[in-house]
Amino acid sequence: MKKEINFVLNGNSVSIEVEPNEKLLDVLRDKVGVKSPKYGCGRGECGSCTVLLNGKSIRSCITLAIEVDGQEITTLEGLQKDGITPLQKSFIEHNAFQCGFCAPGMTMTATELLNKDPHPDEEEIREAIAGNLCRCTGYDTIVKAILDVAEKK
């Protein structure tokens, strides 16, 4: 019972056949070959699979692929089409990662925040990324990295 879906991925149109129970994360990673969203929990708890759906962050591990038919998906690969973004630069500058597994999801969530509000304060940053788990850093450099971009904007 496969169904063809069409969506825009990082500015390019994608047409692909999926099963109705296939998750967006699996389709992106295993069928389309976009590897930056990661599987961490499969329940929308860790945030590693975060992508943007029409500019809003979603958990691709609990989103069915058929739901994105006719819509627009952005992953980290799409954000850096013209070179790395100020946010990515700031993550490097502030050492805001260690193992790197949560970094793509963290970056997508922070990108959504900064698109919505270019000047969030620390409290708003903490609120925004409270759903993205990081087991390595203790989060303080992540806050600093996002805050730095917010202050420079």
Partner 1 sequence: MEYKFIGKEFKRVDALSKLTGRARFLADIILPHMYYGIFLRASIAHGEILDIETEDAKNVEGVKAIVLGRDFPHNYGHLIKDRPIFAFDKVRYYGEAIGGVIAKTEEAARVAADKVKVSYKPLPIITHPKESLNNKEVIIREVSPTPDMVYRPVKGTNIFHYDVVKRGDVEKGFEEADIIVESEFNIAPINHVQIEPHGAIALWDEDGSLTVWSSTQAPFTVRYFLSDIFELPLNKVRVIAYYVGGGFGGKSDVGIEPMVALLAKSVPGHPVKVILSREEVFHGSFLRGNFWGRVKTGVKKDGKIVSEKVEFAMGGGGSGEFGGTVVDGAFKSAVGPYEIENVHAVGYGVYTNLPPTGAFRGYGHPETHWMIERQRDIIARKLGIDPVVLRKKNILKPGSINIIGQKIEEHNGNLEKCLDLVVEELDWPNNIGHIDKKNKKAYGKGFALLQKSPVMPTNAASSAILKLNDDGTVNLTVGTQEIGQGIDTALTQIAAEALGISPEKIKLVPYRDTDLYPYEWQTVASRGVWSVGNAIIMAADEVKHKMRKVAKEIFSVDEEDIVVEDGLVFPQGEKEKAITYKDLAIGYTLPEGSGIGGPIVGAGYFIPEGLVYPDPETGQGNSAAEWTFGAQGVEIEVDLITGKVKILKAVTAIDAGTIINPENARGQVVGAMAMALSIAQREAIVISKEGKIRNDSLTDYKISTIRDVPSEYKVFFVETEEETGPFGARSLAEHGMVAMAPALANALYNALGVEFFKLPITFEDIALAIDEKKIV
Q: Cα 146 from chain centroid?
A: 15
Pick from 62, 64, 117, 139: which binds partner 1 (CB under 8 A)? 139
Q: Residues 39, 64, 66, 72: which binds partner 1 (CB under 8 A)?
A: 39
Query: Does 80 interact with partner 1 (rule: CB under 8 A)?
Result: yes
Q: How far is CA 85 from CA 10, 65, 104, 111, 136, in A?
A: 15, 27, 13, 10, 23
Binding piece for partner 1, criterion CB under 8 A, among 10-18, 64-72, 112-120, 141-149? 141-149
**Does 64 participate in binding partner 1 (rule CB under 8 A)?**
no
User: Of these, 2, 3, 6, 35, which contacts partner 1 (CB under 8 A)?
Assistant: 35
16 in contact with partner 1 (CB under 8 A): no
Is residue 62 at the binding interface for partner 1, with CB under 8 A as the rule? no
Distance from C-alpha of 34 to C-alpha of 108, rounded to nearest angstrom: 14
Q: Is 84 in the site for partner 1 (CB under 8 A)?
A: yes
**153/139 Cα distance (integer angstroms):** 22
Distance CA 88, CA 76 (A): 10
Asked if 18 is part of the footprint of partner 1 (rule: CB under 8 A), the reply reads no
Nearest to 117 by CA among 150, 141, 90, 92: 150
Cα-based distances in Å from 103 to 5, 6, 98: 29, 28, 9
What minimum distance in Å lies between the beta carbon of 137 and partner 1? 5
- Residues engaged in binding partner 1 (CB under 8 A): 29-30, 35-36, 38-43, 45-46, 48, 75-77, 80, 84, 88, 91-93, 95, 97-104, 107, 126-127, 129-143
